[in-house]
A and B are shown apart, each in its own frame.
Chain A
Amino acid sequence: MNPAAWTGLALGIVFGFALQRGRFCMNSAFRDIIVLKEYTLLKTVGLAILVQMVGFAIMTLTGIVTLNPKPLFWGANIVGGLIFGVGMVLAGGCASGVTYRVGEGMVGAMVAVAGFGLAGLMSAMGVLNPIVKYLQDTTKVVVGESASPTVFNLLGISYTGAVLIIVIITAVVWVIARGKGDDEEAVTGTLSEKIFKRGWGWATTGIVIGLIGIAAYPLSAAAGRNYPLGITGGWINIWQTLIVPEKVFSWEGLEVLGIIIGAAIAALIAGEFALRAPAPKVILQTFLGGFLMAFGAVASSGCNIGHVLSGVPMLSIGSILGSVSIILGAWIAAYFMFVRPMNAADN
């Protein structure tokens, strides 16, 4: 096994700890825009993307990493993203969400990752693979010879230039909009209580996750995988390693295992670890959700981490389209599952 892959485990543990403490859940971030009119987690996601953008730009300029934006295959990005979004709401968590909740002792999440692994294998190399290949091959778009379309190469500017413009625009919008949003209550207690016992504030979580994403890039590249954080490929690798004797853990596979360990450590320290099982009907629903998510992620070539957290900062058009489709899919499912029943209570 490649010794450089072990940094994936160490980084995954830190990532899992941060995910659990920060309650970093993109399913909630996207779903609750329409269900509960909650925007706190959405701000966290936005901040993490921004922090990574700046980090990636610096690392590209200094030659530490080579930018590797995901390809655009619009049909696969849209169909896969929508299916992923629906699956995420059914599963009660995004790809990273169900992964870290395994470490919290959530039985529903364990069932979801089982469905995720099964559909991941079926889509990447099994019976569902022809559908994935068809969607990707028939709708692939490249810039020039073979480059993945990005915001900056379509505009004909540099990555650093594009990042600079986005950071300035965000800063201006932030200053204008400041004070309009709802402020969260300040987290109280000593420093160690704040880190280990309480849930982190949105800004802390966003910055920490962003920094972890920056650290992930060169570490993963050193192991031969030129991409920052990911989940889907990691789960597929874990299941392959368990089934196929000659397969070994990859950087991403170890990162996923690390997330579970890190989240378990965080939950145990905070007294939030417990084996909790939902009703049988919900278990079935989470399995189906996990299954749909993995098919969607493989088709779209990215989950909420590969596309939203890692791909959007690289300004890949495929990742942006995949992310928008994930959000739309989540809204469609959340409308039928939560918004309509809640509104029905009015009458």
Chain B
Amino acid sequence: MSVITPDKKIDERGKICPYPDVDTMTALKKMNKGEVLEVIVDYPMSIERIPRSAKKWGHKVLTSEPMEGTDHRFLIEVQGLK
């Protein structure tokens, strides 16, 4: 598996809904098509909803993996229409 280098990183640990979701969507909107966003989040509901929202807005979730403790890491490729 090739290692993907994200173009932008956001750390949403400690934030509760909807900040992780809203920050992710706002970051994705500001980026260009084909760029990759890394999101680190520890809020359980956002871990479930970020991939769902990203797909709904037309973006592609490349990886979704649990990290140490309650942290979770997403890599999302911007594909949605701006």
Give a binary string over A252-286; 1 marks a CB under 8 Å from any B CB, 0 the rest. 00000000000000000011111011110010000
Cβ contact of B14, chosen from A278, A341, A346, cutoff 8 A: A278
Judge whether B48 is part of the interface by a CB distance below 8 angstroms: yes
Q: Give CA–CA (A342, B29) in the complex, Å.
A: 8
Contact B15 A272 (CB under 8 A): no
Contact A108 B70 (CB under 8 A): no
Within the complex, what minimum Cβ distance (angstroms) separates A101 from chain B?
7
Q: A341 and B26 in contact (CB under 8 A), knowing A23-B48, A32-B18, A278-B14?
A: yes
Q: Which residues of A approach B to under 8 Å, CB–CB?
A: 23, 25, 27-28, 31-32, 35-38, 92-93, 101, 104, 106, 108-109, 182, 184, 199, 270-274, 276-279, 282, 338, 341-342, 345-346
- Closest partner residue, chain A, to B21 (CB atom): A36
The A interface, classified by DSSP as helix, strand, loop or mixed, is loop
Contact B22 A338 (CB under 8 A): yes
The B interface, classified by DSSP as helix, strand, loop or mixed, is helix
Q: Give CA–CA (A92, B82) in the complex, Å.
A: 28
- Which residues of B lie under 8 Å from residue A28 when comparing CB positions? 17-18, 45
- Closest partner residue, chain A, to B49 (CB atom): A38
Cβ contact of A108, chosen from B16, B42, B44, cutoff 8 A: B16
- Which residues of B lie under 8 Å from residue A199 when comparing CB positions? 44-45, 48
Contact B16 A93 (CB under 8 A): yes
- Residues facing A in B43-78 (CB within 8 A) are 43-45, 48-49, 52-53, 56, 69-70
Contact B42 A182 (CB under 8 A): no
- Which residues of B lie under 8 Å from residue A101 when comparing CB positions? 16
Residue among B17, B29, B45 with the most chain A CB within 10 A?
B17
* A-B contacts, 21 listed (Cβ < 8 Å): A23-B44, A23-B45, A25-B45, A27-B17, A28-B45, A36-B25, A36-B49, A36-B53, A92-B16, A92-B17, A92-B19, A184-B52, A270-B44, A271-B70, A272-B70, A274-B69, A276-B42, A276-B70, A338-B18, A345-B29, A345-B30
